[in-house]
Amino acid sequence: MELYFTRHGRTNYNDLGLCNDDPSRDVHLTETGVKQAQHAAEALRHAGLERIIVSPLPRTRQTAEIINRYHHIPIEEHPDINDIRSGFDGRPVTDYFAATGHDPLHVRANGGESLLDHKQRVSGFIEWLKRQPNAAILVVAHEETLRVVIAHFAGNISDERLRDIEVDNCQIIHYTV
């Protein structure tokens, strides 16, 4: 099985430094984000994708639709790859980090998820994904989600180091399982 992962393209909320985990908010790709997705589409043009899976947040679907112009396959949503429920939707990312920085693995600020809660949710998705029929699958998700994916496949990254993993917008990560 060929697994491809990418982070969505740059968004208006990225530019504003705001948290978003509510799919009803107007968070969309910027012109830069569209260009990033177009570059990812070119890079994946010959990947032979058979499935594309996105989170319920519109920015992942918008990115996937651009990539899908070469594949013309259905795009599926899976809630387990949603971004972390920060408890700070629509508020500055800096506020979220200030509230959770003393113990990011365990703190559930404003009714949100801790990093370990999020990791458990995403880990369940990874196990589900590995049970899918052999295929070439693209997953379009979020930086926090992809940190868990990278740590899972690397196998040697501690939970305390999750936040050290950086994933650029539309960076493509590939694993053969």
pLDDT in tens, 8-44: 999 999 999 999 999 999 999 999 999 999 999 999 9
Per-residue pLDDT, 134: 78
Per-residue pLDDT, 39: 98
Per-residue pLDDT, 8: 98
Contact 77, 54 (CB under 8 A): yes
> From CA 106, how far away is CA 43, in angstroms rounded?
37
Per-residue pLDDT, 133: 87
> For residue 64, which of 16, 89, 90, 29 has the smallest C-alpha distance?
29
* First-last CA distance in the chain: 5
At 58, is the secondary structure helix, strand, or coil?
Answer: helix
* The two structure tokens encoding residue 33: 């984000």
**Which range marks the domain in which residue 157 is found?**
2-176
Which tens digit of pLDDT belongs to each residue from 74-133?
999 999 999 999 999 999 999 999 999 899 999 999 999 999 999 999 999 999 999 998
| Mean per-residue pLDDT, 129-139 | 92
pLDDT of 135 over the 90 cut: no
Per-residue pLDDT, 156: 86
List helix spans (H) across 9-142: 12-16, 31-43, 58-67, 93-100, 115-130
Which residue ranges are tagged as binding site? 7-14, 59
Which CATH number fits the domain that encloses residue 137?
Answer: 3.40.50.1240
User: What's this model's pTM, rounded to 2 decimal places?
Assistant: 0.94
Which tens digit of pLDDT belongs to each residue from 154-167?
998 999 999 999 99
| Mean per-residue pLDDT, 45-59 | 96
Which residue ranges are tagged as binding site for substrate? 7-14, 59
What is the domain count for the chain?
1
Q: Please tell me the number of Cα atoms within 13 Å of 138 on its side-chain side.
A: 32
Contact 121, 80 (CB under 8 A): yes
